[in-house]
Amino acid sequence: MERFNEHIGAVNSCHNDARIQFESFQDQRHSVSNVLRSCGHEIDIAYRTRLTAALDVTRFLLKQGLAFRGNDESTSSSNRGNFLELFEWYSQRNTEIFEVVNQNAPANNQLTSPMIQKDLAHACASEITSAIINDIGDNYFSLIVDESRDSSVKEQMGVVLRYVNKEGRVIERFLAIVHVSDTTSLCLKDAIDSLFAQHGLPLSKLRGQGYDGASNMRVNSLSMSL
């Protein structure tokens, strides 16, 4: 019996090993799942902080109408472009952001790549467009179209909406740039119809049309309002 008890109480005994594992199981604070859960929460907070900082920089550049990219964005460049330079400047003045960006962030989760910059800009554009459409509501509006070519000689038209808001103020808001295959009246009309359908703008609320550089559309302007 004494020999049996000695075997049970031995350091390397099965009983002692089972006891240690049971005590570890009861200590949920140091369990693997809890550690992973805690790490996951910290990673999520760091990601949100990093994303918010990148979004702040994006909103500032869009508001000021500034370019994002630089001619040389390498780490040795003295000027890496407005987005990267402002992002770095921002992090240097905020400890919370500095701790989760650049060298302190995963290499595959920097949130500063050209693709991420475009995604953030598109997200901001979507939110702004939604705010414009909501501001128009069920009110009447007018359409202003300016057709021109971009630097690659592709035809495009800028679309501006003019309306009276809830405070009685006349508002003009840029809605979109639409690329078109040609500048015939039918092509431009189809592009405008598609844009209106995309944003839920009813043609029945259209009460005025103006065209600058899109003279072909003047012929078709009456048919659009019907």
Q: Which residue has the higher pLDDT, 114 or 30?
A: 114
> pLDDT at position 188, please?
83
> pLDDT at position 2, please?
47
Is the per-residue pLDDT at 28 higher than 80?
no
pLDDT for 173-189, tens place per residue?
999 988 888 777 788 88
Q: Which stretches of 27-113 are DSSP H helices? A: 32-64, 82-92, 95-98
pLDDT band at 70 (very low <50, low <70, confident <90, very high): very high
Torsion 103-108-111-113 (CA) sign: positive
- Burial-class residue 150 by CB neighbours within 10 Å (0-12, 13-18, 19+): exposed
- Phi, then psi, of 85 in degrees rounded to 5: -65, -45
In this structure, of 56-70, 96-110, 182-196, the range with the lowest mean pLDDT score is 182-196
Is the per-residue pLDDT at 94 higher than 50?
yes
Angstrom distance (rounded) from CA 36 to CA 33: 5
> pLDDT at position 74, please?
92
Is the per-residue pLDDT at 111 higher than 70?
yes
Q: Which residue has the higher pLDDT, 212 or 121?
A: 121
> pLDDT at position 42, please?
86
The rounded mean pLDDT for the chain is: 83
- Burial-class residue 164 by CB neighbours within 10 Å (0-12, 13-18, 19+): middle
In this structure, of 15-29, 50-64, 115-129, the range with the lowest mean pLDDT score is 15-29
pLDDT band at 38 (very low <50, low <70, confident <90, very high): low
Tokens of 30: 């140091």
> pLDDT at position 196, please?
93
Is the per-residue pLDDT at 99 higher than 80?
yes
pLDDT band at 152 (very low <50, low <70, confident <90, very high): low
Is the per-residue pLDDT at 66 higher than 70?
yes
The answer to whether residues 53 and 101 touch, using CB atoms and an 8 Å cutoff, is yes
30-39, 145-154, 169-178 — most confident range: 169-178
> pLDDT at position 225, please?
47
Cβ neighbours of residue 177 under 8 Å, at least 6 residues apart?
156, 157, 158, 159
Domains of the chain: 1-36 (no CATH), 40-123 (no CATH), 137-211 (3.30.420.40)
Q: Which residue has the higher pLDDT, 133 or 13?
A: 133
